[in-house]
Amino acid sequence: MVSHEIPIRVRYADTDQMGVVYHSRYFEWFEWGRVELMRKLGIPYKTLEEQGVFMPVIEAYCRYRLPARYDDELKVKVMIRECPQAKLKVEYLILKDGGLVGEGYTVHAFLNRQGSPRRPPKNFVTILKKALANAQV
């Protein structure tokens, strides 16, 4: 498994009228963590897109365990467990003081500039296979 963690501090704008983090923010944090994991691996989204590779979300899930509130310090843990064939599944944990606040996943397709399905780029697969073998990111 390849994983990476990023810190998040809940902003006032992230909360709803009840003072709890609004549900859609979790998906924004998932994206932030995923982008940083890809950057850490050496395959930033910007580079993939410049190469004509796009990775839209085709499935997303989040289960909310505990409320997060304004000014909470959270960690987003992002994990990839296997190399993609046609799709990439990325898993997430949102943690607060070691406790589980939320968990979920996203599934991504690989598309070309015209929006047609394509295989993941060879360099992407090579880098991810190596990282999975070393499990160090």
Domains of the chain with bracketed CATH: 2-134 (3.10.129.10)
Q: Which amino acid is at 34?
A: R
87: nearest Cα among 112, 113, 120:
120
For 66, which DSSP code? Answer: S
- pTM for the full model? 0.94
Active site members: 16
Q: Would you say residue 137 has pLDDT above 70?
A: no
Beginning with the edge strand found earlier in the chain, give each strand of the sheet holding 2-9 in spatial order: 2-9, 73-80, 87-96, 99-109, 57-64
- Banded pLDDT at 12 (limits 50, 70, 90): very high
Cα of 120 vs its chain's centroid, Å: 17
